[in-house]
Chain A
């Protein structure tokens, strides 16, 4: 859940640059980029299964082998590169306030995590992931029958839906760990997404308030409160996280977008591109151009105009 994506991310950045930590990448970057890489690998295997006629069981085996091999490979890359933990060292001002706010934020996040595990609410409107996972495993084939009825398709299914890889990833968890599919989809995955979401917002806090630990912790405290109080309507962050964390839109809204904002603000364009691609793999976007692309473009345009204005003022 955390270690394997972390290895992927660390290995990826080790290949991308000589010393990732000196380039401003942190452990949170490694974790979140590792999640993006995991989505990418799942998508590759899923596409092979859907269009190459490979069975679900075989795809799951291939995916498992791919996950394992990549982990070993990236671990080897990290060792060979001998990455030193030479962090650029963010300046901290650990006052009592920072410790208190950090503590309260952690407590609220823990309450929310428990809520996800004991909550009896799952938002199911417009979602058929669990049926799809069951059907994949039951029929050992991708979209051979309609997951909602078990009957063969008469008119077919849009290919933009066919390529979404989350059901394959969840099937992998179900088959590998021999856990009930409902438990994986409704409990396990939302818990994982919650952890990634907190990491993404922490990264955003680090980006916005680079040198101020107090503000970073306050930011996280308010994020924790907004998650809790925002659990009132479909489409709002808190609701996505606490009641439908297994959906692609939840991963997009809670993990990909905040992480991508932090990347764009730090001018780290390559991992930002991974966010845009990952979104296309997990949500039904406008044929590839999704929310991440629009947000990235918006932020870059804003930055461009602000720079122009600043240069104009300096010139004057």
Chain B
């Protein structure tokens, strides 16, 4: 429970670090609180809350407090199951609806009197200010947005998911063609079992269900492990790490990588597990490529900047 409370507190900090919509929400609550007892005759009918609106605000205030307080937030996190992170308990707070309802109240208040030029200038200024506050509260977190996105390719900000999908689709279509040519004599209808860098594997099954993989996106995206009870054997994890080291440094046993994994063992394990297509990134060192040719007896083909070995 203490871990959950700690997570909820850290979650609140993260939630408010990226963008400031919660601050805007609290500002709206402050406005509602300050104007709750204003005499109707003095301020005009715009400030009289309807029954539904009042329920929405009070519910919003209570749920916001429950989401901010670490203990109650931990209880809400338990309720929504541990699969979902802290930010999801904010689904219980109608943030957009409350901000919009309160915001339209404020705007109606400032636009109520527009008799003179001064009134109009004042109203326009307040409106512009409110729009600026809304924009700043949201957009201030834009730079942090993609830190939460699983980047399928190192160095990729995560912004080019569809572009990477298209690149992978092109590559796999060409691999399929080459594979068919190599295996045209096969009568057992063999399918591609692919071992490739993360940026290819991320999209392979999204492109086609006819491609088999030794390990999928749940190797690096832990949230996906909740969808299955299956786990990967240790040698698959070593194979994944080896492939990622090769993608990054060109080879897995260099001094820069500070990690050494036996590539020969990984390739042998992959072939034993049924891999018949290996894809290496274009920056792979010649030594590693020759090792793969030696171990698998496959011919090397260069397709779209990748080295492809069809076994």
Contact = CB atoms under 8 A, between A and B. Distances in A.
Q: Indicate the member of B15, B50, B96 with the most A CB atoms within 10 Å.
A: B96
Nearest to B191: A150
A13 to B, nearest CB: 20
Contacts of A229: 21, 134-135, 137-139
Contact of B94 (A120, A221, A257, A306): A257
Contacts of B88: 235, 249
A124 interface: yes
A157 interface: yes
Interface string A268-310: 0000000000000000111001110011001100110010000
A289 B92 CA distance: 13
A173 B124 CA distance: 47
B152 to A, nearest CB: 8
A315 interface: no
A267 to B, nearest CB: 10
B207 to A, nearest CB: 8
A232 B224 contact: no
B224 A126 contact: yes
Contacts of A303: 55
Interface band, chain B? 35 or more
Contact of B158 (A121, A149, A235): A121
A223 interface: yes
Given A161-B227, A294-B79, A302 B59 contact: yes
What DSSP secondary structure best describes chain A's contact surface? helix
Interface string B188-215: 0000000000000010011111111111
Contacts, number: 251
Interface centre among A124, A153, A156, A186 (most CB of B within 10 A): A124
B198 to A, nearest CB: 12
A234 B221 CA distance: 15
B215 A149 contact: yes
A153 B230 CA distance: 7
A302 B62 contact: yes
B59 A222 contact: no
B265 interface: no
Interface in B66-123: 79-81, 83, 85, 87-88, 90-92, 94-97, 99-101, 103-105, 107-108, 111
B58 A226 contact: no
A266 B52 contact: yes
Contact of A222 (B134, B141, B145): B134
Interface in B216-253: 216-218, 221, 223-224, 226-231
Interface stretch (B35-43, B161-169, B279-287): B161-169
Interface stretch (A36-44, A69-77, A211-219): A211-219
B64 to A, nearest CB: 12
Contacts of A207: 52
A91 B53 CA distance: 18
Contacts of A208: 50, 52-53, 56, 101
A189 to B, nearest CB: 15
A243 B194 CA distance: 29
Given A122-B162, A147-B205, A157-B227, A230 B138 contact: yes
A135 interface: yes
Interface in B138-153: 138-142, 144-145, 148-150, 152
Contacts of A134: 205-209
A69 to B, nearest CB: 30
Contacts of A158: 226-229
A284 B84 CA distance: 9
Contacts of A232: 18-19, 138-142, 144-145
B48 to A, nearest CB: 11
Interface residues of A, number: 83
Nearest to B209: A138
Nearest to B217: A148
A16 interface: no
B223 A126 contact: yes
A239 to B, nearest CB: 7
A219 B28 CA distance: 13
A83 B163 CA distance: 49
B92 A294 contact: yes
Contact of A120 (B18, B111, B142, B161): B161
Given A97-B111, A120-B163, A219-B101, A226 B224 contact: no
Contacts of B223: 125-126
A126 B217 CA distance: 9
A138 B205 CA distance: 11
14 contacts: A121-B159, A124-B152, A134-B207, A148-B213, A161-B226, A210-B52, A215-B108, A231-B138, A261-B94, A285-B81, A286-B79, A294-B92, A298-B62, A303-B55
- Closest 7 A/B residue pairs (Cβ): A229-B138, A148-B216, A138-B209, A126-B223, A235-B87, A155-B229, A232-B141
Interface of B: 15, 18-19, 21, 50-56, 58-59, 62-63, 79-81, 83, 85, 87-88, 90-92, 94-97, 99-101, 103-105, 107-108, 111, 131, 134-135, 137-142, 144-145, 148-150, 152, 158-163, 165, 202, 205-218, 221, 223-224, 226-231
Interface of A: 97, 120-128, 130-131, 134-135, 137-139, 146-151, 153-158, 161, 182, 186, 201, 204-205, 207-210, 214-215, 218-223, 225-239, 249, 252-253, 257-258, 261, 265-266, 284-286, 289-291, 294-295, 298-299, 302-303, 306
